[in-house]
Amino acid sequence: MRRGRITTDWHKNEPRLTASYRNRDFRRDLVVTPQRNAAPCVFANGRISFEVAIKPGQIWHTCLEYSAIVGTHHYTAPGQCIAHAHSSELGKPLEEWCKTVLKVRTSNQEFEHLYRQAVEDMAALRLPVEGTHHLEFTPVAGIPWFVALFGRDTLIAALQNAHIYPDFSRGALDVLGRFQAIETDDYRDQEPGKILHEMRYGELAHFKLIPHTPYFGTADATPLYLILLHTAWRCTGDWGLVERHLDNAERCLEWIDRCGDRDGDGFQEYETRSPVGYANQSWKDSGDAVVYPDGRLVKGPKALCELQGYVFDAWSRTAEIYDALGKAERAEALRKKAQLLFERFNEVFWDEDTGFYAYCLDGDKQKVLTVASNPGHCLWSGIVPKERAQRVVSRLLQRDMWSGWGIRTLSARHPAYNPLSYQNGAVWPHDNGIIAMGFKRYGFAEEAARVARAVTDAGSYFALYRMPELYAGIEREDTNFPVQYPDANVPQAWAAGSIFTLLDALLGFDPDAPSGKLYIDPVLPDWLPDLLLTDLRLGKQVFDLRFWRDGGETRFEVQKGDRHAVEQRRLAADPHPSSR
């Protein structure tokens, strides 16, 4: 229901259209001004119309400049015509950014189109970091619903871009570190050390009618912050980045111990304390996403399986950072906690009869044996023992989970399954990208390539080769095609970034910039027989790498950069990072 008043003013002498919204001290204005236009124009019935008479061979052109007034801040439109956008004040940084990112060429034109579109989508979703160099950004979540700063979405998108544009990590760590919680506020599900979920600046947030000022209802953003900090260090070798955020990391660790584990049983669980908070606070955060095998909503507090994996991974990675700091005692303490969690998780969450992990533990600490995609994230985090990985991979690829266009969020045999349900049956590209990375981590390169093929095949059906946020989990057949979810964000950061994680799953990147090494484990499938990567950054080094299939093997050569810095090494040799 509209709470304020909308007015529209047409200034015919200038000419200029001003649309205004007022609700007490909340104000938004949009000013539309025709420029470089010799023809008369009028405003009527919500339209600006131009009276144009064009002779043969003649050209007519006008520009519409859009300026916004947000509260007392006036944001003027760029002065340059859109026809000269590439040389404009905004266009030049965009062009610089596109030159900086990792480029890919391949004989598989569909994959190349998908990759290029993903790069353009990430460019469209860049949010400049205030007070920094103009090439430091953090990604917003998606258009049109989520043009805002997020925790989980921003962190995962930055992780996806680790080898494409590693500086996304700087922006994400900086901005989210600034807003890290320092006090308790139940209305906003805020606790000291927690990383935010979502920040809004609209009317509802202004009048505190929603808790997004910011809202902290996410259980996974805090361990993901630690995972990104370690990843950024390994990709950039920038020790200053680690030192700058070490206090943030300490507060994250404190929150995981004090608040993430609500009852002291060693597992991470969540439950909202806000009357308007989110019932689900992991990546599947829709209200109906976490269900018992009979379709009922799971009662909380809920300990989701992937949360345990994220914390295990965060502790293991942060231990490596403390080793580098010379704090061996602190590192060993974190490794012991990670090892204990590894053992407890595999004792409690594993179900031998089904050969799969429980979706979660409910409020009574009972296993919820709903078959969903979440255990695939446990492969990514390394919390699965080697001897169980095969069964997890096989279960995710059974027909009820495998649509042919990717892995579904929920088994098609489940009573709550609906192929067009947001998180109870649809296919999410980012979810599949993370799962493919998990497959690769445990040595299942063929299965990772199968997921990559399915998702990229689906992507080739969408307009402009632009990957949507999610699409229906319908069964793939010779005569059908993937169906986009009706309200999907397009473009969306996770979806665009899924192309990057799928590429990573095929090439097996393991950067060690602090040591000046890039380890790779490439296995190209027959549908992607060659790849040329240019401007791959590792710390201050830049590489061009060529990969190609030679019979059943994948070969590579370093065309630019120190060839001794790139080494082939089995990624699956040590999927359990706490043993580092």
Decide: helix, strand or coil at residue 258: helix
Distance of alpha carbon 107 from alpha carbon 532, whole angstroms: 10
Task: Indicate if the pLDDT at residue 87 is higher than 80.
Answer: no
Confidence of residue 63 (pLDDT cuts 50, 70, 90): confident
Burial tier of 56 (Cβ tally within 10 Å: 0-12, 13-18, 19+): exposed
Distance of alpha carbon 234 from alpha carbon 212, whole angstroms: 33
Confidence of residue 572 (pLDDT cuts 50, 70, 90): low
Asked if the peptide bond before residue 375 counts as cis, ω within 30 degrees of 0, the response is no
Mean pLDDT, rounded, of the chain: 93
Q: Using alpha carbons, list the distances in angstroms from residue 256 to 285, 308, 455.
A: 19, 11, 34
Distance of alpha carbon 65 from alpha carbon 76, whole angstroms: 9
Distance of alpha carbon 332 from alpha carbon 323, whole angstroms: 9
As beta bridge partners, residue 303 has: 361
Confidence of residue 407 (pLDDT cuts 50, 70, 90): very high
In this structure, what token pair is assigned to residue 54? 């064009």
Confidence of residue 40 (pLDDT cuts 50, 70, 90): confident
Distance of alpha carbon 537 from alpha carbon 162, whole angstroms: 10
Residue 131's pLDDT is what?
A: 60
State percent of the chain over pLDDT 90. Answer: 80
- Please name the helix (run of DSSP H) or strand (run of DSSP E) that holds residue 567, with its range, or none: strand 566-568
Residue with the bigger pLDDT between 327 and 577: it is: 327
Task: Indicate if the pLDDT at residue 159 is higher than 90.
Answer: yes
How confident is the model over 356-370, as pLDDT tens digits? 999 999 999 999 999
In terms of phi and psi (left: phi > 0; alpha: psi -120 to 50; beta: otherwise), the region of 561 is left
Neighbouring residues of 221: CB distance < 8 A, sequence distance ≥ 6: 151, 152, 155, 176, 194, 195, 196, 197
Residue 580's pLDDT is what?
A: 39
Decide: helix, strand or coil at residue 66: strand
CB atoms within 10 A of CB 188: 25
Residue 134's pLDDT is what?
A: 55
Distance of alpha carbon 268 from alpha carbon 306, whole angstroms: 10
Taking 3-state DSSP, the helix, strand and coil percentages for the chain, each rounded to the nearest 5, stand at 35, 20, 40
Asked if the peptide bond before residue 15 counts as cis, ω within 30 degrees of 0, the response is yes
Distance of alpha carbon 548 from alpha carbon 107, whole angstroms: 11
Look at residues 251, 257, 382, 359 and name the one whose alpha carbon lies nearest to residue 312: 382
Distance of alpha carbon 412 from alpha carbon 410, whole angstroms: 6
Confidence of residue 30 (pLDDT cuts 50, 70, 90): very high
Confidence of residue 578 (pLDDT cuts 50, 70, 90): very low
Q: Which residue type occupies 65?
A: E
Q: How do beta strands 356-357 and 350-351 pair? A: antiparallel
Distance of alpha carbon 521 from alpha carbon 87, whole angstroms: 40
Distance of alpha carbon 423 from alpha carbon 557, whole angstroms: 42
| 34: phi then psi, degrees, rounded to nearest 5 | -70, 135
Residue 577's pLDDT is what?
A: 47
CB atoms within 10 A of CB 83: 10
pTM: 0.94
Nearest 10 degrees: CA dihedral of 521, 526, 373, 384? Answer: -30
CA 29 from chain centre, in angstroms, equals 32
Residue 91's pLDDT is what?
A: 65
Stretch among 134-138, 246-250, 310-314, 548-552 having the lowest mean pLDDT: 134-138
Average pLDDT over residues 282-291: 97
**Which residue carries 């700063």 as its tokens?**
149
Look at residues 300, 384, 307 and name the one whose alpha carbon lies nearest to residue 350: 384
How confident is the model over 227-271, as pLDDT tens digits? 999 999 999 999 999 999 999 999 999 999 999 999 999 999 999
In this structure, what token pair is assigned to residue 172? 């994400």
Asked if the peptide bond before residue 514 counts as cis, ω within 30 degrees of 0, the response is no
Residue 278's pLDDT is what?
A: 97
Distance of alpha carbon 263 from alpha carbon 282, whole angstroms: 18
Residue 35's pLDDT is what?
A: 83
143, 491 contact by CB (below 8 A):
yes
Distance of alpha carbon 513 from alpha carbon 234, whole angstroms: 5
Confidence of residue 41 (pLDDT cuts 50, 70, 90): confident
Stretch among 170-174, 413-417, 441-445, 571-575 having the lowest mean pLDDT: 571-575
Look at residues 166, 165, 216 and name the one whose alpha carbon lies nearest to residue 194: 216
As beta bridge partners, residue 534 has: 103
Residue 46's pLDDT is what?
A: 86
323, 396 contact by CB (below 8 A):
no
Distance of alpha carbon 362 from alpha carbon 292, whole angstroms: 9
Distance of alpha carbon 251 from alpha carbon 192, whole angstroms: 7
Question: How many CA atoms are closer than 13 Å to the CA of 176, on its beta-carbon side?
Answer: 41
CB atoms within 10 A of CB 344: 14
DSSP designation for 563: G
Distance of alpha carbon 297 from alpha carbon 85, whole angstroms: 50
In this structure, what token pair is assigned to residue 548? 């190609």
In this structure, what token pair is assigned to residue 81? 């015509």
Task: Indicate if the pLDDT at residue 13 is higher than 90.
Answer: no
Q: Using alpha carbons, list the distances in angstroms from residue 235 to 166, 268, 334, 391, 526.
A: 7, 28, 22, 32, 29
Stretch among 72-76, 196-200, 218-222, 273-277 having the lowest mean pLDDT: 72-76
How confident is the model over 71-82, as pLDDT tens digits? 888 888 877 776
Task: Indicate if the pLDDT at residue 579 is higher than 50.
Answer: no
How confident is the model over 95-154, as pLDDT tens digits? 777 788 999 999 999 999 999 999 999 998 988 766 655 556 788 899 988 988 999 999
CB atoms within 10 A of CB 329: 7
Domain boundaries, the chain: 5-77
Residue with the bigger pLDDT between 134 and 341: it is: 341
106, 456 contact by CB (below 8 A):
no
How confident is the model over 501-517, as pLDDT tens digits? 999 999 999 999 999 99
